[in-house]
Amino acid sequence: MSAHKPRILVIDDEPQIHRFLGPALEAAGYEPVRADTAADGLAAIANRPPDAVVLDLGLPDLDGTQALIRARAFYEGPIIILSARDMEMEKIEALDLGADDYVEKPFHVGELLARLRVAMRHALNRAGAPALIHAGDIEIDLVKRLISRGGEPVRLSPREYDLLAHLAAGGGKVLTHRQLLTAVWGPANVEDVQYLRVFVGHLRQKLEADPANPRYVVTEPGVGYRFMAD
């Protein structure tokens, strides 16, 4: 991490949110930047790109997904979405449109900060993807296409490997059903969520100590999956 404090832009129209998020971010070693509208936020990103963006989807001046599309046009850094639990579709749409992760309101500050860390680490890794990924006793070698668990090689079918490699390359980031299906099965199969269920089941059988309570391949209900690397 560079010497300067990472700048986190918070775009939210609720003053109360800024009131506690500002001190919290500061205390965690970040430099918070406040924006109350989508327009202010986009201007702030354009002026001086922050290290990460926290974007509330319920903004008064612009639909949250629209704000996201505009931001993604010139900003590649991590974007974390703040959304309500009942706005499922909005959330998935935002992820598909390029948001890195989401946090549901109301949230623990610790959870938001953890998501922010994962997203920023992932953004750093994006340039040179790591060859080796570790998760507990699992080791994934993306160059040699080898998987081992506790030193023992694990045999995966090509599809299973593709799926695991995509999840692992996400580095703890949630991947939507649509993103995974498009990447592994191709764009024609984006609706076939049941494939995904079956193959995730296979992966858990082969990788998890207790497939019924998975630690590594974690379900985000209704949204997608994430791989919990170390």
Interface residue with another protein, options 60, 151, 153, 186 (CB under 8 A): 60
Shorter beta-carbon distance to another protein: residue 109 or 218: 109
The amino acid at 30: Y
Contact flag: residue 108 with another protein (CB under 8 A)? yes
Shorter beta-carbon distance to another protein: residue 6 or 98: 6
**Minimum separation from the CB atom of position 40 to another protein (A):** 10
Q: Which stretch binds another protein (CB under 8 A): 54-62, 122-130, 142-150, 154-162?
A: 54-62
The amino acid at 115: R
Shorter beta-carbon distance to another protein: residue 74 or 107: 107
Contact yes or no for 166/224 (Cβ under 8 A): no
Q: Which residues contact 20 (CB under 8 A, 6 or more apart)?
A: 109
Contact flag: residue 151 with another protein (CB under 8 A)? no
Contact yes or no for 94/64 (Cβ under 8 A): yes
What's the angle, vertex CA 174, arms to CA 137 and CA 8, rounded to 5? 110
Interface residue with another protein, options 31, 49, 70, 84 (CB under 8 A): 84
Contact yes or no for 227/163 (Cβ under 8 A): no
- Residue 226: beta bridge partners? 218
Please give the backbone phi and psi of residue 61, each rounded to the nearest 5 degrees, phi first: -95, -20
* Token pair of 219 as six digits: 């379900």
**Minimum separation from the CB atom of position 30 to another protein (A):** 12
Interface residue with another protein, options 6, 13, 139, 162 (CB under 8 A): 13
Angstrom distance (rounded) from CA 13 to CA 59: 6
**Minimum separation from the CB atom of position 24 to another protein (A):** 4
Distance of CA 203 to the CA centre of its chain: 20
**Minimum separation from the CB atom of position 137 to another protein (A):** 30
Which residues contact another protein by CB under 8 A?
13-17, 19-21, 23-24, 27-28, 36-37, 58, 60-61, 84, 86-87, 105-110
